[in-house]
Structure 1
Amino acid sequence: MTPPHAPSEAAPAVAPAGWSPASWRDRVAVQQPEWDGLDELRAVTDELESAPPLVIPGETRQLSASLAEVAQGRAFLLQAGDCAESFDSATPESIERRLRVILQMAIVLTHSAGVPVVKLGRIAGQYAKPRSSSHETLDEVSLPSFRGHIVNLPEFETDARRADPRRISQAYQRSATTLNLLRAMTQGGYADLTKVHQWNEAFVAATGVGRRYETLADDIDRALRFMQACGLDTDEVPQLHEATLYSSHEGLILDYEEALTRQDTETGEFFDTAAHSVWIGERTRDLDGAHVEYFSGIANPIGTKVGPTATPAEVVALCDALDPHRVPGRLTLIARMGAELVTERLGPLVEAVAESGHPVIWATDPMHGNTFTAPSGRKTRHFDAIEQEIRGFFEVHHRLGTWPGGIHVELTGDDVTECLGGSEELSDDQLGLRYETMCDPRLNARQSVDLAFRVAELLREQQH
């Protein structure tokens, strides 16, 4: 996280004519909870409207500037974090473990590929999840689906599945707690490059991936000693001792996002101060829908998922609606095609957007298109399919001469057993050992660092 600082030079407001933070209410809003008590919902959102912002425009503008470098092929985006954060995970230990694995991945990518890495966490607000069905049925009992801790609870009980507006306020408080600790850790010495060895968690260090990471850490130590031997005072180089991690989440629950929207008094721009960046999901990207309407007016850098059914015309229309001024770094298109379809379906979209002149960032989400049910009955993903989709993503961009801007992955710093494969070859009969996710399966720390090494190799190939 970056410390608060003065807003940058004024820029034109991005909000189209007639837009307001509430104008989405005139559109069809899908994937919204059926809140239990509209008066209580209004009381909660009124309270949030006068609450302090979670992030400030100066921080968000700095992210926009960094993402502009990604859009122009001079940096790489690492967007990573939990599938769906739990209120129970807003603890120092859990936050530290997630930060640690993101820092490890960023170090691997920066050192091995030689490009700056913009670190964007799925953290401090990723409390909502879209669902394929509004209700879940078990033993002839039908209850509302679990939509994330900002809405209800996963237990299959009537009271637990009630869409409780008070949970919106709890999400704000948990996000504030998480952001405060992240700021303290990233600016207070935890991210110091002299501590890269300490980031290697015990259950990672004993593996082949851990040993490979230790070799990289040794290289960094030698580089720092070389700089000192040359007379450079590394203590005076803040980039060696601090890190910048930005927050992001799917901007799904529009009551929450609207309540935390603020207008910058200097520029007139509207910012969603719930996070530095928010994205639209595959299920909510309808061009005439409420989510596209809301996102079109905020000045944050934004993203939208793009699945295998998307057509070139649809994607260009989304770019026109969300980035009419063609600002580099404004819009990230997050492709989630599936390993078997990526090389076939992605190319026409990339070509169409390039021809339209929109300077978007293309990132790959190799997780959601590769989910399946294992023989054990658990929802999972295979590491090989995740890697295959990333390779296909790079292959398409290499063929077209465009920049593969980033990866968007679901992971945890914990030693979970949720995704098959990886260097440790996690098998189906091991899934039940530590299957802890509330929603989708996540890469564990070993698999995450392993993936970073493999992406770094692809980046090096892309540069030659």
Structure 2
Amino acid sequence: MSEWQKTTWREKPRVQMPDYTDETALNAVEAQLSKYPPLVFAGEARTLKKALGAASRGEAFLLQGGDCAEAFEQFSANAIRDTFKVMLQMAMVLTYGAKVPVIKVGRMAGQFAKPRSAPTETVDGVELPSYRGDIINELDFTPEARIPDPKKMLQAYTQAAATLNLLRAFSTGGYADIHQVHAWTLGFTDQDEASKYRDMANRISDTLDFMKAAGLESASNHNLQTVDFYTSHESLLLEYEEALCRLDSTSGKWLAGSGHMIWIGDRTRQPDGAHVEFARGVLNPIGLKCGPTMTSEDLKALMAKLNPENEAGRLTLIARFGAGKVSENLPRLIKTVRDEGAQVTWVCDPMHGNTIKSASGYKTRPFDAVLREVKEFFAVHKSEGTIPGGVHFEMTGQDVTECTGGVHAVSDENLSDRYHTACDPRLNASQSLELAFLVAEELTNMREEAQAANG
């Protein structure tokens, strides 16, 4: 394999990336970004990789969630706090059910670019380039708004830095203290259907009170007051990724300084393409989306390129097939991994294969289909004797109406009430928590069956 440099992706075929019309402006932005501090650090990426290795062995579980595409206009401290809060709740539910540490990774502080199914879109007979995320162009349907603007990378960096600053403060400044388990409740937890969360929070509080009374709490007090929270995004806009790539002085390896974990999408995973070329050379843990068109041959080639040393935690395979298609696709990929003796972490993305257009014209995801894909993912791993290592959701802490169904039974008619996403529909806070309980139930069943089998 040829020697890697952070620029070698430029020699490969590129897809899903903009053609900037002003090369001088693009070069100036790249030069400016290359002088900025990295958003994350190599030691953090190595810690996350180690945790993901534990998830591949069933010793931890990954919860990855956040925005479909972060929008400049919707950026606010409250939105960050609410998504962080829901992820804390979900992680608590999963930890309680699975009895293993939950790795918390946000689709945040970098999820600005989106692949699109077509390069253009037509509205009322007018055809314009597709919106590709705020880091590239604008959502407004005008010729000017759809021109790729390299300066948007600088705004994306600024928003990502501010987001990370707040997330780090929340993670270590007392907000994530497990003693605040009741304070993490959002408005929906006052509803009757959230009684499961309140009951669990009460049991946790009782346990903490017992530990304190018995003098058992002080040694682990710091661990109870802080959490490790990581960021991730699809590594799509490679000019941005290259500009933030930094050499780690400790290991002599290159770090993608844009986020702790980056992933390659189902549309950009060509083994000889630019996106795979960039990802293969950085030390970060790498995610790889696996859809129905993923062949065994491609998966073998991708595993060899992205994880040549077969390092645990380096490669996470994110399955996104769609409800009803898991049993026909996942087993053949599991067989490929097994035949190659590859170390991977298996994760379920039940969102991207279940997107439909509703009768009201809105793009949505039926919550029942999301639940069904999660159950099918666990069922296949149970029958194959392999380990489900995590889940990957598009979600928000806001009370949006973008996915139909759930305990509040969002209907097609409700979608227009609070439909705020610029791209794909997200689970709201209530649906996210409901899903966490389902996953926790699956994990609890697996743990109990394993214990029974071991006598």
Structure-2-length-normalised TM-score = 0.97
Q: Which residue of 2 aligns with 1:248?
A: 232
Residue 213 (structure 1) aligned with residue 206 (structure 2): no
Q: Which residue of 1 aligns with 2:97?
A: 112
Question: Which stretch shows the higher mean deviation, 205-214 or 20-29?
Answer: 205-214
Q: Note if contact 1:24-1:290 (Cα within 8 Å) is conserved in structure 2.
A: yes
| Counterparts of 1:356 and 1:129, CA distance in 2 | 32
| Counterparts of 1:152 and 1:421, CA distance in 2 | 32
Residue 67 (structure 1) aligned with residue 52 (structure 2): yes
Offset of residue 194 of structure 1: 1.1
Distance 1:191 1:209, change over 3 A: farther
Residue 84 (structure 1) aligned with residue 64 (structure 2): no
Q: Note if contact 1:234-1:240 (Cα within 8 Å) is conserved in structure 2.
A: no
Between Structure 1 and Structure 2, how many residues are aligned? 448
The DSSP-based 3-state class of the residue aligned with 2:233 is strand
Q: Which residue of 1 aligns with 2:286?
A: 302
Offset of residue 253 of structure 1: 0.2
Q: Which residue of 2 aligns with 1:189?
A: 174
Q: Which residue of 1 aligns with 2:453?
A: none
After TM superposition, the structure 1 = structure 2 runs for residues 171-190 of structure 1, keeping only pairs within 5 Å, are 171-190=156-175
Residue 447 (structure 1) aligned with residue 431 (structure 2): yes
| Counterparts of 1:150 and 1:394, CA distance in 2 | 36
The DSSP-based 3-state class of the residue aligned with 1:197 is coil
Offset of residue 234 of structure 1: 3.9
Offset of residue 236 of structure 1: 5.4
| Counterparts of 2:208 and 2:220, CA distance in 1 | 13
- 1:357 corresponds to which of 318, 330, 341: 341
- Which AA in structure 2 matches 1:192? D
Q: Note if contact 1:36-1:165 (Cα within 8 Å) is conserved in structure 2.
A: no
- 2:265 corresponds to which of 254, 272, 281: 281
Give CA deviations for 1:439-458 in whole Å, capped at 9, x if unaligned: 00000000000000000000
| Counterparts of 1:432 and 1:284, CA distance in 2 | 32
| Counterparts of 1:234 and 1:225, CA distance in 2 | 12
After TM superposition, the structure 1 = structure 2 runs for residues 8-47 of structure 1, keeping only pairs within 5 Å, are 17-47=2-32
The DSSP-based 3-state class of the residue aligned with 1:405 is strand
Q: Which residue of 2 aligns with 1:419?
A: 403
| Counterparts of 1:211 and 1:36, CA distance in 2 | 55
| Counterparts of 1:415 and 1:100, CA distance in 2 | 13
- Which AA in structure 1 matches 2:49? S
Residue 130 (structure 1) aligned with residue 115 (structure 2): yes
After TM superposition, the structure 1 = structure 2 runs for residues 384-463 of structure 1, keeping only pairs within 5 Å, are 384-463=368-447
Give CA deviations for 1:181-238 in whole Å, capped at 9, x if unaligned: 1001110000011111111111x12324422111111011001001012112448521
Offset of residue 381 of structure 1: 0.5
- Which AA in structure 1 matches 2:99? G
RMSD: 1.1
The DSSP-based 3-state class of the residue aligned with 2:324 is coil
- Which AA in structure 1 matches 2:30? T
Offset of residue 321 of structure 1: 1.0
Residue 160 (structure 1) aligned with residue 145 (structure 2): yes
| Counterparts of 1:89 and 1:99, CA distance in 2 | 16
Offset of residue 147 of structure 1: 0.4
Q: Percent identity?
A: 48
Q: Which residue of 2 aligns with 1:12?
A: none
Residue 200 (structure 1) aligned with residue 185 (structure 2): yes
Q: Which residue of 2 aligns with 1:4?
A: none
| Counterparts of 2:442 and 2:192, CA distance in 1 | 20
| Counterparts of 2:413 and 2:33, CA distance in 1 | 46
- Which AA in structure 1 matches 2:189? A
- Is there any run of 5+ residues in structure 2 with no aligned partner, and where? 450-455
| Counterparts of 1:192 and 1:267, CA distance in 2 | 33
Residue 58 (structure 1) aligned with residue 43 (structure 2): yes
- Which AA in structure 2 matches 1:46? A
| Counterparts of 2:193 and 2:214, CA distance in 1 | 32
The DSSP-based 3-state class of the residue aligned with 1:87 is coil
| Counterparts of 1:266 and 1:224, CA distance in 2 | 39
